[in-house]
Each structure stands twice: as C-alpha cells, then as structure tokens.
Amino acid sequence: MDNTFVLKLILTPALIGAASLAGRKWGHAVSGWMVALPLTSGPVVFFIAISHGAVFALATSLGILSGGISLAVFSLSYAWLAAFQEWPITLFISTALFLASTFVLTSVVIPLWPLFFIVILAFALTLRLLPRHKANAPVLISIPNWDLPARVIITTIFVLLLTELAPFVGARLAGLLSTLPIMTATLTAFAHHQQGRASANEVLRGLVMGLFSFAGFYLVLPLLLPVGIAIAFTAAILTAFILQGISLWVIQKRKSA
C-alpha cells in the first residue's frame, strides 16, 4: 500500500478526532475556534505537495486562502438566517451561499498579499457583523455517540477524494473545495437545534476569531513552499499555533468579562 495513502488514513482521523474531543470539553466558542484550524485543508495541501510537488501545492494554497471568503459568507449568512429559520433551512441556504461564493472565486485570481489582506478584512467584518446574543445556558452540546466516528470517517473520505481528484479538477478548485465547512456545519447545526441560535452564534464567533490563524497559515505556507515542503509546513504550523493562542486568549477574556 502507498505510504502516502497510509499517512492519510492515520493523520487525518487523528487531527479531526483530537479537535472534536477538545471542542466538546470546552464548549461552543472553543468548538468553533478548534474547527478554524486547517485540520481538513492542511492535510489536503500537505498530501498534494507530497504527491504533485510544491508548485501545484502553492496554487492549491492560494485557492484555500481564497476559500476563506466563502467561510466568512457561510458564517455571516448562517448567523443571521438563524434568527428566523430553523436549522435545516438555515444550513441549506448558508451552504448554498458558500458554494455560490466558491463558484465566483474560481474565476477570480488575486496575488498572495492583496488576497491575504482581503481575507483578513472579510474575517474582521464578519466578526463585527455577527449578531450578539447571550447563550441561555453555559452547557455543552449533547452530541450522540455516532457523531465523532461519523465526523472522522466523512472528513477522512473527503481528504482522500480531494487529494486524488486534485489533478483532474485543478489546483485552485481543489483548494477552494477543501474549505467546505463540514465540521463547522455539524457543530453549528447541533448547537442551533439543541440550544438555539445564540449557541450557534457562539460556535460561529469562535470559528471566525480562530480563522485569523487559518489566514496566517496560508500566508506563510505559499511564501516558503519554494524553499522546501518541510520548512514551509513547519513555519506555517507554528504561525497558526501562535495566532490561535492569541485568539483563544481573546475568547477566554471575553467569556470572563
């Protein structure tokens, strides 16, 4: 069996499982914050870099960074639609808007630095425009036993399919599709269904605050990929962790306030 395939089967479930368990332990906002880490797109671009080289991975990284705009669209639309719609309709419309945004972005290519600042601005505006509601009760989401295995299996299959299809759909579209909010949609819909829109908004607020580390990861990665895959991913991961630590401090400070 191909060593890369084995690595996909080990690394992806481990990352998704660890993030899901940590999110369950510390609540709605931290759940969203954990999902903001590039736990799906990171493995996708890593395996693409190993299989297809740094140049292909660089184009994929720019596609993923562009996909941050679609994530902002999803988050903002879900948060406001939840005010007057139940979770199935809200999830359907916000996912449709994500896909529409992705479709538009397939034909819009922006250089790295301008793209980075546009994505950061999109996250900042989304954070500013998210509705502010206090959750009714500080209790964790009650998630059925099948949720964690299902999430791990679905995400692993998604990573496997996307990395195999990347040469056929192209580097940019592969990058854009890897931001599909599978885990975000799951966490937000459960929170919305079980504890109302305020809890769903907490997930989304935590997500958007954590997305600044996502942007940092996909700024550093394409900058250093020409130097070497190992150096690029190491530096990008360190950048993401530093920014994620800052955003967690802000979340905890906000909760204590």
* SS3 per-residue string spanning 116-129: HHHHHHHHHHHHHH
Q: Over the stretch 95-132, which tens digit does the pLDDT of each residue have?
A: 999 999 999 999 999 999 999 999 999 999 999 999 87
Give yes or no for residue 218 having a pLDDT over 70.
yes
Number of domains the chain contains: 1
Closest CA to 188 of 104, 63, 98, 64: 98
Q: How far apart are CA 210 and CA 219, in angstroms?
A: 15
- Give the domain range for residue 246: 3-256
Question: Do 196 and 136 meet the contact criterion of CB atoms below 8 Å apart?
Answer: yes
Computed over every residue of the chain, the mean pLDDT equals: 83
- Other C-beta atoms within 10 Å of 92: how many? 12
SS3 category, 109 = coil
pLDDT at 79: 94
When mean pLDDT is compared across 36-50, 56-70, 149-163, 210-224, the lowest value belongs to 149-163
Q: How far apart are CA 94 and CA 60, in angstroms?
A: 24
pTM for this structure? 0.84
- Token pair 């700024």: residue: 219
pLDDT at 125: 96
pLDDT at 139: 47
